[in-house]
């Protein structure tokens, strides 16, 4: 008798256009350079293929994880069960018409910001250094230097967990700081339409370079990381709080809370996901004790890591499920 994983792999193999791999090392596909293999990794080039893929996964109830740039995820040391998907090919297209720009979900913010700036369209410059795809940016309402993706978005095309396609306006998304309703209901942003304003191309490109230089100077370099580990609580900064707790330079295994920025954890070379999670829990506990503030992850904890986090913080003294 065919095992469930083999049955799923056979059904996915019938979907045209999918590029399927098994037991694929995920540490090379994320900026932390941490994590074990994916049972099944699929590269998806079209919306039709994605809809069919999600329908099959929904029917089989297999675990599923979308992986974009891998710049905001922590992958378990044992890897991820089920299916991990990446958007490729058609999802990397960009089209411009007057002040409106359509971008596929796999286009990076850096690419679309620089491209539109060179065309004399302004608005995306502050987001040019945010390490995300367009789809990920809409999903989480990415923001930087006073600009959030919602400020420029006209609409987003979303494929739901059942494979159905819907169009979402900014109002539908209910965007807040690093948050949208998509994070509760699920769905994959496959494209987005933005409206920008005319600007001076040379000035726009110079602003991108200036803001990127400012961002790079504030973050540690030389070791793999994912940028901010925690969301900033209202009216304050997670990095400042962690610094005030004296945790900069704290190490666990091969991971370290950066001595340059308290809200960044770096991989010193052989860090495990368990090391990073341990530092996150230590930082959260210290900030809760000193400031009575519960820090919440900005990094996406995939697979078993999310359950481990929730179980630990619920068990901690005075810790609750309230999210800031």
Which residues are annotated as catalytic?
Answer: 178, 228, 298
User: Cα–Cα distance between 174 and 184 in angstroms, integer?
Assistant: 11
User: Cα–Cα distance between 255 and 275 in angstroms, integer?
Assistant: 6
Q: What angle, rounded to 10 degrees, do the helices at 273-291 and 304-315 form?
A: 30
241 token code pair: 């709080």
User: Cα–Cα distance between 294 and 237 in angstroms, integer?
Assistant: 12
- Helix or strand holding residue 74 (H, E): strand 73-74
43 token code pair: 């590269």
Radius of gyration from C-alpha coordinates of the chain: 20
User: Cα–Cα distance between 129 and 126 in angstroms, integer?
Assistant: 7
Pairing, β 153-159 against β 188-195: antiparallel
3-state SS, residue 3 = coil
Pairing, β 255-257 against β 153-159: unpaired
Cβ burial, residue 238 (10 Å; 0-12/13-18/19+): buried
Residue pair 208/116 in contact (Cβ under 8 Å)? The answer is no
How many helices, marked H, and strands, marked E, lie in the chain?
10, 19
157 token code pair: 């095309």
How many C-beta atoms lie closer than 10 Å to residue 119's C-beta? 15
β-sheet bridge partners, residue 144: 147
**Dmax of the chain from CA atoms?**
65
321 token code pair: 């499920």
């Amino acid at each position: 008798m065919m095992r469930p994983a083999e049955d799923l792999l056979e059904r996915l193999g019938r979907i045209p256009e999918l590029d399927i791999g098994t037991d694929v090392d995920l540490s090379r596909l994320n900026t932390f350079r941490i994590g074990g293999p994916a049972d099944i990794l699929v590269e998806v080039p079209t919306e039709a293929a994605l809809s069919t893929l999600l329908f099959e996964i929904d029917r089989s109830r297999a675990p599923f994880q979308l992986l974009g740039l891998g710049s905001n995820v922590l992958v378990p040391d044992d890897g991820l069960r089920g299916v991990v998907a990446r958007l490729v090919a058609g999802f990397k297209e960009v089209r411009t018409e007057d002040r409106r720009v359509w971008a596929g979900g796999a286009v990076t913010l850096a690419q679309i910001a620089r491209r539109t700036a060179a065309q004399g369209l302004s608005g995306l410059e502050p987001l040019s250094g945010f390490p995300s795809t367009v789809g990920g940016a809409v999903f989480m309402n990415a923001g930087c230097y006073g600009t959030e993706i919602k400020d420029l978005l006209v609409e987003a095309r979303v494929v739901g967990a059942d494979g159905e396609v819907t169009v979402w306006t900014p109002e539908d998304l209910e965007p807040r700081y690093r948050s949208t309703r998509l994070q509760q209901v699920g769905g994959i942003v496959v494209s987005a339409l933005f409206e920008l304003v005319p600007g001076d191309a040379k000035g726009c490109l110079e602003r991108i370079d200036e803001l990127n230089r400012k961002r790079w100077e504030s973050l540690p370099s030389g070791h793999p990381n994912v940028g901010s580990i925690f969301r900033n609580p209202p009216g304050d900064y997670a990095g400042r709080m962690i610094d005030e707790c004296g945790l900069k330079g704290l190490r666990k295994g091969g991971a370290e809370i950066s001595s340059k920025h308290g809200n960044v954890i770096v991989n010193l070379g052989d860090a495990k996901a368990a090391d990073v999670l341990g530092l996150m829990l230590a930082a959260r506990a210290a900030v809760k004790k000193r400031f009575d503030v519960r820090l919440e992850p900005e990094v996406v904890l995939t697979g078993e890591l999310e359950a481990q986090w929730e179980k630990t913080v619920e068990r901690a003294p005075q810790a609750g499920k309230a999210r800031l």
